Amino acid sequence: MRGFILYLITAAMIALVGWMQSWNTALLILNMGMISAIMALGVNMQWGYAGLFNIGIMGFVAMGGLATVLVSMPPVIEAWTEGGFRMIVAIEVGILTVFCGIVAWNKLPRGRPRVMTMLVVLVGGFFFYRWLFDPAVDAIESINPTIEGYLGGLGLPVLLSWPVGGVLAAGAAWVVGKTALGLRSDYLAIATLGIAEIIIAV
For residue 175, give every residue at least 6 positions away whose Cβ sits within 8 Å of its Cβ, in sequence order, or none. Answer: none
148 near 69, Cβ under 8 Å? no
Q: Is the pTM of this model over 0.95?
A: no
Q: Are residues 91 and 45 in the same domain?
A: no
Q: Are residues 88 and 135 in the same domain?
A: yes
Q: Are residues 130 and 162 in the same domain?
A: no
Q: Is residue 4 part of a domain?
A: yes
Name the DSSP letter for residue 142: T
What pLDDT, in 10s, does the model give residues 25-70?
888 888 888 888 888 888 888 777 877 777 777 778 888 888 888 8
Q: List C-alpha distances in Å: 7 to 17, 25, 35, 41.
A: 15, 19, 16, 17
Q: Is residue 169 part of a domain?
A: yes
Q: Are residues 28 and 68 in the same domain?
A: no
Q: Are residues 92 and 135 in the same domain?
A: yes
Name the DSSP letter for residue 150: S
Q: Quick check: 185 pLDDT over 70? A: no
Q: Is residue 116 part of a domain?
A: yes
Distance CA 11, CA 76 (A): 39
Residue 6: pLDDT band (50, 70, 90) is confident
How many domains would you assign to the chain? 3
Domain of residue 44: give its range: 1-51
Backbone angles phi, psi at 114, to 5 degrees: -70, -40
Q: Are residues 68 and 99 in the same domain?
A: no
Q: Are residues 62 and 103 in the same domain?
A: no
104 near 118, Cβ under 8 Å? yes
Q: Is residue 148 part of a domain?
A: no
Q: Are residues 89 and 129 in the same domain?
A: yes
Q: Is residue 144 part of a domain?
A: no
Q: Are residues 11 and 42 in the same domain?
A: yes
Ramachandran category for residue 145: left, alpha or beta (phi over 0 → left; psi -120 to 50 → alpha): alpha
Q: Are residues 63 and 32 in the same domain?
A: no
What pLDDT, in 10s, does the model give residues 108-159?
888 788 888 888 888 888 899 889 888 888 888 777 766 666 777 788 888 8
Distance CA 178, CA 176 (A): 5
Q: Are residues 47 and 59 in the same domain?
A: no
Q: Is residue 134 part of a domain?
A: yes
Q: Are residues 200 and 157 in the same domain?
A: yes
100 near 125, Cβ under 8 Å? yes
The count of residues in the chain is 202
Distance CA 83, CA 135 (A): 8
Distance CA 170, CA 46 (A): 15
